[in-house]
Amino acid sequence: MAKLTQDDLLAQFEEMTLIELSEFVKAFEEKFDVTAAAAAPVVVAGGAAGGAAEAVEEKDEFDVVLTGAGDKKIQVIKVVRELTSLGLKEAKDLVDGAPKPVLEKVNKEAADKAKESLEGAGASVEVK
């Protein structure tokens, strides 16, 4: 197996979601019998991977990202307008420009409700 460079590892971490990164940190802790608190200075020195230590903490703010409008674009636009204070043109532009965030920094309950509403209208949604 080829040895990965630090840049290769950072590139892989950049592609991971926070949930995947959190799972990686847990597996790393179990495998090497360490904690994220002890590893944090080493990870922070690496640069972009500094988010690994933060991913372990309970997340209280979420972003709802529209990844695709699906077949019922008009229904999705209506739901986007209900969830936001956007006008018709702005909501249409947001849906046409997917992937785009619909809601940012909302609590888990609001993010789940928004995701459910958008998926009910036929959209593809990610909560980050």
Q: Which tens digits make up the pLDDT trace of 57-108?
A: 567 788 888 888 888 888 888 888 888 878 888 888 888 887 888 888 888 8
Please say if the pLDDT value at position 24 is more than 60: yes
- H/E stretch holding 32: helix 18-32
CA distance readout (Å), 38 to 19, 23, 24, 33, 65: 20, 17, 16, 11, 33
Confidence of residue 36 (pLDDT cuts 50, 70, 90): low
Q: What is the mean pLDDT of residues 113-121?
A: 86
pTM of the model: 0.51
What distance in Å separates the CA atoms of residue 18 and residue 128, rounded to the nearest whole number?
7
> What is the percentage of the chain residues whose pLDDT exceeds 70?
81
